[in-house]
A and B are shown apart, each in its own frame.
Chain A
């Protein structure tokens, strides 16, 4: 690496109410043409219970960022080149065992205090006093406990994200088998530490011989009770997505369902364990526009009930405006602007965001007058240290071609990475800070 891109924001200003923070994340890909800087120093926080929209055009690294939360980026060819994804998992509310009560404000979840310092604040938890896990270095086994339980994900195309060989029931039951073993046993009215045979069965780890034993009368009734409990849990999860006739849908295979229903099944599976964070990777792109609206409505509604944080990835700005509380705009592997949805749409600061908003068609637009951003997205292979947007920016000044602006806050949490708003502090050492003559 010859060119070191500018580092992330100085200091570790981590908001205490954030459920996850991405800190200086860099994910690169090794390709034949060279190293691709797909995600190159991304910082943002997802606050507890909010919907954060991550917008940007195709190939800007938004999906890679989202996938790195659960370490789904294949390595190799991917390289974790630095930074981390910090996650603050909640625990189940002890007062209502997840059903929702006054203590947990109906969410069924409570923040977990740091296991190192017990909530007083220490370097591990960054002084927040909350249990903080670095997802980018967590061992695979512990990561598996988080996947599907604390962080869930909905994919773009539900037709591809459901295993065609499994019924909807088995598809959703899998989450309970993986994460709710004790719960299933409890609900079945069985001892939570019963013979290992049943426990292994609930976790779906039975060997062939054990399966034969389970089919025998002494264990059979108990096994059937467990299956019944899981069935009820699956039906409840499905019912929450307002799918018509969930008990019938349970026995269907994915190819027997419509696209909207498949996405509902995905959502049911994702929210089955009441996660702290739901990552939605363009969940409506593959759906019809009419179904789209209903799925969006459903996600909003369920989020309101579960109070899960949602990372909503999209390139559809009008959708983001409807769904999200805050928006992070991504361009060529970096975040260029973060702010509340109202701020971003009413007062976009970065030239790229302005360009994007100007490109949204609306009723007031005269036909043929859609504004496009000139130029194309730069190659992400070995990018120069300049601002990534310099080639396409009509406000570019000389300094933009020399160094890359960092994300800096303006008033009320609106952050932008642009020299127009944050003049470089080292301007004296740099070439003239004047309008480029190009």
Chain B
């Protein structure tokens, strides 16, 4: 084997940066895999997101709108195990398996949209408040306080109820509730980070305020946001299911909360399946994201770094 005499090829500047990035990613993933509960959460998430993505392959999509439950009026209240309806049917003849699989797609859509909207709003509001400070900070944070003073479920309920029952309005209602948390987290982080000496050091080399924010403050502030966003992927589905359970989604939507709501009338009559399977899915979804969120917090939190 020929011995490589030059330590590193300086002609490939990108490779180096990419390598360091990959190295860090590798460290984190090894850490994740070492923690069994996080691993379980990850497997669950992978399975459920896989189910959501490949829903059309797993089960024939309903026409014209696949997000609507198919109705089989010939098979009402069938128990699990019925041919063609493995998990049984609801009292409107909806296939529970279809609801479970396409419900995952609905949930994924809901949580991704809500979390990305809220993270962006929270990032903007929190950064403005924290980085600029003064009167802007005061105003924005009082606004946040107003939002925080109302219990989140009741607030979401009120918004969804006023706007009328539809899936889009559930997204709006959840976004209106969830952004405040991010604004607070990011504001706190930005205020903390901007006191670091490396921010002064960046000013000393002539960086502009915007550049300092983008290069020094933001990248060092986002870690708790990643954790919170992961946790909220679960929370959003939980509260979303609650809202649709109460009846704030369109009737017949392939959504877990809607299915639980439809099935609950039959529980006393022994028809447990229509509520149980979608309910179980909500539980697993929230559990999985909470496990991963907690795991991420342990790994990314610099204070726990020493223990490793």
Contacts and interface: CB of A to CB of B under 8 A. Distances in A.
Contact of B205 (A156, A160, A251, A269): A269
Contacts of A162: 198, 201
B17 interface: yes
B12 to A, nearest CB: 9
B197 A232 contact: no
A151 to B, nearest CB: 8
B1 interface: no
Interface string B194-233: 0011101111111110010001100110000000000000
Given A228-B10, A235-B10, A163 B203 contact: no
A161 B220 contact: no
B205 A169 contact: no
Interface in A338-386: none
Contacts of B149: none
A178 B207 contact: yes
Interface in B171-195: none
A316 interface: no
A72 B13 contact: no
Interface residues of A, number: 44
Given A72-B200, A144-B206, A247-B7, A163 B17 contact: no
A120 interface: no
Interface in B1-48: 7-8, 10-11, 13-14, 16-17, 19-20, 24
Contact of B8 (A147, A232, A248, A269): A248
Given A178-B206, A248-B7, A163 B13 contact: no
Contact of B16 (A161, A165, A224, A250): A250
Contact of B13 (A70, A153, A164, A227): A227
Nearest to B16: A251
Contacts of B211: 204
B114 to A, nearest CB: 24
Nearest to B216: A163
Given A72-B200, A161-B198, A148 B205 contact: yes
A245 B211 CA distance: 30
A144 B216 contact: no
A72 B197 CA distance: 11
Given A227-B14, A228-B13, A175 B201 contact: no
Interface string A54-79: 00000000000000001010000000
A325 interface: no
A174 interface: yes
A148 B201 CA distance: 9
Nearest to A178: B206
A7 B174 CA distance: 63
Contact of B20 (A72, A167, A174, A178): A167
A433 interface: no
Given A148-B204, A174-B205, A178-B206, A224 B13 contact: yes
Candidate in B11, B14, B196, B204 with the most chain A CB atoms within 10 angstroms: B204
Contacts of A179: 206
Contacts of A155: 197, 200-201
Contacts of A250: 16
B134 to A, nearest CB: 10
B272 to A, nearest CB: 51
Contacts of B215: 163, 166, 174
Contact of B206 (A145, A169, A247): A145
A174 B204 contact: no
Contact of A164 (B17, B19, B208, B220): B220
A224 B17 contact: no
B283 to A, nearest CB: 37
Contacts of B11: 228
Contacts of A152: 204-205
A160 B198 contact: yes
Given A160-B198, A174-B202, A253-B20, A224 B14 contact: yes
A88 B202 CA distance: 23
Contacts of A404: none
A72 B19 CA distance: 36
A161 B201 contact: yes
Given A247-B10, A251-B16, A178 B220 contact: no
Contacts of B17: 167, 169-170, 251
A231 interface: yes
A190 to B, nearest CB: 16
A174 B206 CA distance: 9
A257 to B, nearest CB: 13
Contacts of B206: 144-149, 175, 178-179
Contacts of B198: 160-164
A164 to B, nearest CB: 7
Contact of A245 (B7, B24, B196): B7
Contacts of A169: 16-17
A157 interface: yes
A28 B198 CA distance: 24
A4 B201 CA distance: 35
A164 B221 CA distance: 11
Nearest to B20: A251
Interface of B: 7-8, 10-11, 13-14, 16-17, 19-20, 24, 196-198, 200-208, 211, 215-216, 219-220
Given A144-B207, A155-B197, A251-B20, 19 more contacts: A70-B204, A72-B200, A147-B204, A148-B204, A148-B206, A155-B200, A163-B198, A166-B215, A167-B17, A169-B17, A178-B206, A178-B207, A224-B14, A227-B13, A231-B13, A245-B7, A247-B7, A247-B10, A266-B201
27 contacts: A147-B205, A147-B206, A148-B204, A148-B205, A155-B197, A161-B197, A161-B200, A161-B201, A162-B201, A163-B216, A165-B219, A167-B20, A169-B16, A174-B202, A175-B205, A179-B206, A224-B13, A227-B14, A228-B10, A230-B13, A247-B7, A247-B10, A251-B8, A251-B17, A253-B20, A253-B24, A266-B201
> Which 10 pairs, one residue from A and one from B, show the smallest C-beta to C-beta distance?
A148-B205, A160-B197, A147-B206, A148-B206, A227-B13, A165-B219, A161-B201, A251-B16, A163-B198, A144-B206
